[in-house]
Amino acid sequence: MSLNLTYNNVNKYFNKGTASEVHALKEVSFTIKPGELFCLLGPSGCGKTTLLRSTAGLESISDGKILYGDTDMTTIPPYRRNIGMVFQSFALYPHMNIFENVAYGLRVRKISENIVKKKVTDVMELVGLTEELKRNPSPMGLSGGQQQRVAIARALVYDPDILLLDEPLANLDAKLRRYMRAEIRRIQKATNITTIFVTHDQEEAMAIGDRLAVLQLGAVKQIGSADELYSHPESAFVSNFIGKMNFFKVDRKNKNTVKLNKTNIEFAINPEKDHSEGAETLLLGARPEQITISSKKSDKSIQGKVGIIQHLGQFVRYEVKVDSTFSDNNLEIDMPFMVKDALEGDTVFIDLKEDLVSLYADGEISNE
Amino acid sequence: MNKNIFSKISDKWREITTPNFDNPELRKKKDFSRFIVYIIPAAFLCIFLFYPLFTTLIRAFMSASKGKYDFSTLGFAGFTKLFKSGMFIKSLRNSFVVSISVTFLTILIGVPMGYFVARVDIPGKKMIKSLGLLPIIMPAFIGAFSWIILLGNQGSLRLLLSKIGIGVPSIYGISGIIFVMTMVYYPFVFLLAEGAFGSANAQLEDSAMLMGASRGRILRTITLPLIVPSIGAAALLVFIRSIGNFGIPSILGKDQYVLPTLIYFKINGFWDLNGASSIALVNVSITAIVLYLQKKIISRHDYETVSAARTEIKQSDNKVVKIIATVFCWLVLIISLLPQITIIVMSFFTEWTGPLPTGFTFGNYSMIHSNSSREFFNSIYLSVVATILAAVLGSLIAYVTGRIKPKGGAILDMAIMAPFILPGTVVSVALISSFGTLIGGTYTIIIISFIIRRTPYVYRSVSASLTQMNPSLEEASTIAGGNWFYTFKKVTVPIILPGIISGSLLTFTTLLQELSTTILLYSAKTRTVPVQIYGAVVDGALGQASALSVILLIIVFILVYVSNNSNKANISAGLKLS
């Protein structure tokens, strides 16, 4: 039986009242549904690990409540919360063999020996380490991927209410990481334990999570499925953190129209894609595939110069520099084919797919 | 009835220590067990360290004669008298001359030797490193008296050398003290320098070479600057040891005193606790100032070397360099190990005043059973008890400062390390002034002095293990349901156990040879082997002293061999100051 995990106006300050005070979590409120695989995503220092450790009870929160069902977890010490956690370093015990590592939580609970054996065997089968369990070596002799599986088995074996994963893939190499994230999703779906997965890698989060929460500077910016976040980002930060977004400086002309900075080029904005919320300085956002390149000028095109061109298989990526009155950064434009007369160093004209672009308030944009 | 009480208690204990995931009341209960660990070390430090040091500080400003504890005589009169006393000024100067010269000489010998062993392809490297450890694990005063046999007024080596026309000054006096101390303490510099040269990031030097720097330039501009902190730490260690050493100057000094021997003289000769406290304060102040200066200088040269992959350091195989390095290392080793060889030979003879020893005998050994049984019992009993207590205390404090990190943890850290820089005689003076009337002459006062002196070894060793241990290991246990005590028992202690063991072994071996503290605290009942050896040397019974020393050396050697083989890295962690 699983219950909702609810964060209620959670605040966390480090070094409160001193000069080095940090407001690490700001009014965090959301609910994770039973059996959900939920990702906390954000750049380093955004508070995602603090939120995870607060859920575990390893950090105490300054203000607010964390509820499991109707039970307030805030004052319960971590060892009575019945939570499983996989650490970034795996934290396997070097002085125990892998059986004892996995059995640790069962031993704490004074479970009888034959049940311990059965549960450890079952969970090791689930994570695919049946052969290794027969040899039962020290965890230090295992490969990174195997250590990862032992750490997951150890966290799952005592049927925790919630499973926490703190950047569990960060210590693995790129190929193994892709394989293990599929494994983690398979294991999570097999056990159906409510799971929180912390990562700074948006591709990983989108691949693995049922839902994602994007955090920035301690505040939750947006929560939704990978598709919702990619297709309907509600802030400039999220739009450029989940995928790539090119930004253009624009001024508002009227309710549904904006003008490119210091020009008369006008763009109509779909009201559903207007996330500016009445802000003064505005940014027009267009994803790389929402811009086209041409060697010919049209009435709404912006002039630019091609930087480097990368052939990436299914598309060609152009880096284009436009005047800084229009955009501070080089534009990234994906075309399905090579454009004629647009070689590196050439002058080109770009056009926006007007019906797809979005409008945002100027804010802090992640460059990761 | 009794059984019922016990089972009730154990039920209660189980209730406290096992998590209950169903009982909502119990789920909210706080875990106080970890706060208990604060109290033990804090109480011990207050009673046996702070209070005695405070008493000594007060006494230092009392000028009442015969060491009376009299507040009406508080003032600077004692110090004025002290700084007018020619004997004190001379001792102070001697202490400075000895410790500064020894520090420079050990650097002069230790740094090149460390470089040769780490960077030149010479034969028998492992052997050089193991043998290099010997002089510091052997009692320093044994070195002193065996050098008397070799280079004393009638010293065999001295006579031999004079026959072939080389005049060597007698070992007695300041230059002899400096020579013997240098030979005893150079391994600190050698081992730390070797470690630093050996673990330096080779890529830094490779990159300098690719930019066109010559070997000499790389050594001068890259290699040496990067190991300055290690050398500084070693130099500090040598300085502290040599300014606090009692055995060597008391045996070789004759009428030349240094501060620790002057303290002994004041107490043993006149029972002048106030005067001794004043000298002790001067002695400690010098050490504290040097420690402060060292920290200040080193902090400017402390670099974090950032590197992901370590590459093997290339070893020089230039023939000339190889020959110089080999000769240098083995020459230093042989000279520094001559005392050990000498006392083994001496222990089988009655006399050795000419070129060769005379009067072959096993008598020195057969006497031990009847003459030294009590001393051996005392030495082992005192060291075992003190080691166990120091291990518990040192581990607890290391855990508190390293893991719980309370406010004021830095003070606890400083307090526990303070005895590391206190000369043994000063610790004794502090204990006598505070508890002399209560427990003077008992086993207890010696055990307390031992604990105070050597807890830093366990503390450092365990701290090192704790810093290497990722806190998430403990957090993983907490998450899995283990409360503080369960986690401590099942995860923390097993992982830091090697640190505890190697720290304890180091403690035990140094306690077996402890002289500077015991010499002021022992009574007829509590006399230890080192004290007896010291007495025998003073009486001129060198054969008996040698036999006892050989037995001591064998015990110490076995223990160090065992601990070195089980855990090499941590012995040096225990020796480090910071």
Give the integer Cα–Cα distance in Å for B486 and B276.
Answer: 48
Task: Spell out which residues of chain A touch residue B495, defining contact as CB-CB under 8 Å.
Answer: 93-95
**A61 to chain B nearest CA, in Å?**
16
With CA atoms as reference, the chain B residue closest to A105 would be B480
CB B200 within 8 A of CB B312: no
In a domain, A236, yes or no: no
pLDDT at position B32:
59
Of A24, A39, A25, which Cα lies nearest the Cα of A167? A39
- DSSP assignment letter at B131: H
**What is the identity of the amino acid at B156?**
S
Give the integer Cα–Cα distance in Å for B249 and A198.
Answer: 64
Q: Which two tokens stand for residue A351?
A: 């056009």
> Does B20 reach chain A within 8 Å, measured CB to CB?
yes
pLDDT at position A214:
94
Give backbone dihedrals phi and psi of A324, rounded to 5 degrees, phi first. Answer: -70, -10
Four-point Cα dihedral A71, A76, A82, A86, nearest 10? 120
Task: Please state whether A330 falls in left (phi above 0), alpha (psi between -120 and 50) or beta.
Answer: beta
> Does B27 reach chain A within 8 Å, measured CB to CB?
yes
In a domain, A238, yes or no: no
Give the integer Cα–Cα distance in Å for B115 and B452.
Answer: 35
Neighbouring CB atoms inside 10 A of A58's CB total 21
Cβ-nearest to B478 among A79, A84, A88: A79
Q: Which two tokens stand for residue B31?
A: 């875990």
Determine which of A101, A108, A164 to mutate to test the interface with B (most B C-beta atoms within 10 Å).
A108
Q: Which two tokens stand for residue B147?
A: 């050098």
Residues A118 and A148 in one domain: yes
Of B498, B466, B489, B460, which Cα lies nearest the Cα of B574? B460
Residues A209 and A296 in one domain: no
Residues A99 and A138 in one domain: yes
Give the integer Cα–Cα distance in Å for A181 and A174.
Answer: 11
Residues A262 and A218 in one domain: no
Angle between helices B51-60 and B424-439 (to 10 degrees): 100
Chain-centroid distance of CA B310 in Å reads: 32
- DSSP assignment letter at B578: -
**Domain total for chain A?**
2
Distances (CA, A) of B185 to B179, B235, B336: 10, 10, 10
Residues A257 and A215 in one domain: no
pLDDT digits (tens, 9 = 90+) for B409-452: 777 777 887 887 788 888 888 888 888 778 878 899 999 999 99
Give the integer Cα–Cα distance in Å for B511 and B389.
Answer: 13
CB A286 within 8 A of CB A245: yes
> Does A89 reach chain B within 8 Å, measured CB to CB?
yes
A79·B19 Cβ contact <8 A: yes
- DSSP assignment letter at A35: T
**DSSP structure string for B98-112:** HHHHHHHHHHHHHHH
Residues A208 and A278 in one domain: no
> Does A67 reach chain B within 8 Å, measured CB to CB?
no
Give the integer Cα–Cα distance in Å for B235 and B220.
Answer: 19
Degrees to nearest 5, angle at CA A359 with A355 and A349: 60
Residues A223 and A251 in one domain: no
pLDDT at position B577:
43
pLDDT at position A343:
86
With CA atoms as reference, the chain A residue closest to B492 would be A93
> Does B423 reach chain A within 8 Å, measured CB to CB?
no
Degrees to nearest 5, angle at CA B327 with B326 and B330: 80
B476·A108 Cβ contact <8 A: no
Give the integer Cα–Cα distance in Å for B542 and B562.
Answer: 30
- DSSP assignment letter at A243: S
Determine the structural domain holding residue A105 and report its residue range. 5-231
Task: Spell out which residues of chain A touch residue B477, defining contact as CB-CB under 8 Å.
Answer: 104, 108
SS3 for A13? strand
List per-block mean pLDDT (blocks of 10 residues) for chain A, which spans 368 residues: 88 85 92 94 90 90 91 87 89 88 89 93 91 88 89 92 91 86 91 93 91 93 93 90 90 86 86 83 90 88 91 91 89 89 89 88 64
In a domain, A121, yes or no: yes
Give the integer Cα–Cα distance in Å for B299 and A83.
Answer: 44
Cβ-nearest to A108 among B28, B470, B482: B482
* Contacts for A149 with CB less than 8 Å, ≥ 6 apart: A127, A128, A129, A183
Give the integer Cα–Cα distance in Å for A23 and A13.
Answer: 5
CB B387 within 8 A of CB B508: yes
Residues A119 and A251 in one domain: no
B479·A78 Cβ contact <8 A: yes
Four-point Cα dihedral A300, A304, A307, A309, nearest 10? 20
In a domain, A81, yes or no: yes
Give the integer Cα–Cα distance in Å for A108 and A81.
Answer: 13
Cβ-nearest to A108 among B19, B30, B495: B19
Exposed / middle / buried, residue A150 (Cβ in 10 Å: 0-12, 13-18, 19+): buried
SS3 for B534? helix
> Which DSSP helix (H) or strand (E) runs through B475?
helix B471-479
> Does A139 reach chain B within 8 Å, measured CB to CB?
no
> Does A271 reach chain B within 8 Å, measured CB to CB?
no
Residues A279 and A210 in one domain: no
B494·A71 Cβ contact <8 A: no
CB B503 within 8 A of CB B462: yes
pLDDT at position B62:
81
Q: Where a domain ends, among A174, A200, A231?
A: A231
A79·B20 Cβ contact <8 A: no
CATH number at residue A282: 2.40.50.140
**B428 to chain A nearest CA, in Å?**
41
> Which DSSP helix (H) or strand (E) runs through B309?
none
Provide CATH code, domain B76-361: 1.10.3720.10
Whether the domain at B33-62+362-578 and the domain at B76-361 fall into the same CATH topology: yes
SS3 for A130? helix
A87·B24 Cβ contact <8 A: no
Output Rg (C-alpha) for chain B, integer angstroms.
Answer: 26
Residues A39 and A108 in one domain: yes
In three-state form (DSSP H/G/I as H, E/B as E, the rest C), the secondary structure along B217-282 is HHHHHHHHHHHHHHHHHHHHHHHHHHHHCCHHHHHHCCCCCCHHHHHHHHHHHHCCHHHHHHHHHH
Task: Spell out which residues of chain B touch residue A58, defining contact as CB-CB under 8 Å.
Answer: 475, 478-479
Task: Spell out which residues of chain B touch residue A198, defining contact as CB-CB under 8 Å.
Answer: none
> Does B24 reach chain A within 8 Å, measured CB to CB?
yes
Chain-centroid distance of CA B367 in Å reads: 31
Task: Spell out which residues of chain B touch residue A71, defining contact as CB-CB under 8 Å.
Answer: 24
Of B478, B491, B506, which Cα lies nearest the Cα of B576? B506
A84·B21 Cβ contact <8 A: no
Task: Spell out which residues of chain B touch residue A155, defining contact as CB-CB under 8 Å.
Answer: 479-480
> Which DSSP helix (H) or strand (E) runs through B396?
helix B363-399
ipTM: 0.76
Burial B495-521 (b: 16+ CB within 10 A, else e): bbebbbbbbbbbbbbbbbbbbbbbbbb
* Contacts for B198 with CB less than 8 Å, ≥ 6 apart: B118, B119, B313
| pLDDT < 50 positions in chain B | 1-3, 13-14, 16-20, 26, 306-309, 568-571, 573, 576-578
Task: Spell out which residues of chain A touch residue B19, defining contact as CB-CB under 8 Å.
Answer: 79-80, 108-109
CATH number at residue A10: 3.40.50.300
With CA atoms as reference, the chain A residue closest to B480 would be A105
SS3 for B430? helix
Degrees to nearest 5, angle at CA B427 with B426 and B431: 115
> Which DSSP helix (H) or strand (E) runs through A117?
helix A113-126
Q: So what CATH class is B33-62+362-578? A: mainly alpha
**What is the identity of the amino acid at B449?**
S
pLDDT at position B65:
65
> Does B371 reach chain A within 8 Å, measured CB to CB?
no
Residues A163 and A298 in one domain: no
Domain ranges of chain B: 33-62+362-578, 76-361
**B26 to chain A nearest CA, in Å?**
9
> Does B170 reach chain A within 8 Å, measured CB to CB?
no
Q: Where a domain ends, among A231, A254, A286?
A: A231
A58·B483 Cβ contact <8 A: no
Task: Spell out which residues of chain B touch residue A168, defining contact as CB-CB under 8 Å.
Answer: none
Q: Where a domain ends, among A231, A262, A284?
A: A231
Residues A179 and A315 in one domain: no
**A18 to chain B nearest CA, in Å?**
15
Give backbone dihedrals phi and psi of B385, rounded to 5 degrees, phi first. Answer: -60, -50
SS3 for A60? coil
B positions 474-493 inside 8 Å of A (CB): 475-483, 486-487, 490-491
Chain-centroid distance of CA B486 in Å reads: 34
Chain-centroid distance of CA B123 in Å reads: 30
* Contact pairs from chain A to chain B, CB under 8 Å: 85
In a domain, A237, yes or no: no
Cβ-nearest to A77 among B24, B31, B495: B31
With CA atoms as reference, the chain A residue closest to B23 would be A80
Chain-centroid distance of CA B302 in Å reads: 24
Task: Spell out which residues of chain B touch residue A57, defining contact as CB-CB under 8 Å.
Answer: 478
With CA atoms as reference, the chain B residue closest to A76 would be B28
pLDDT at position B437:
79
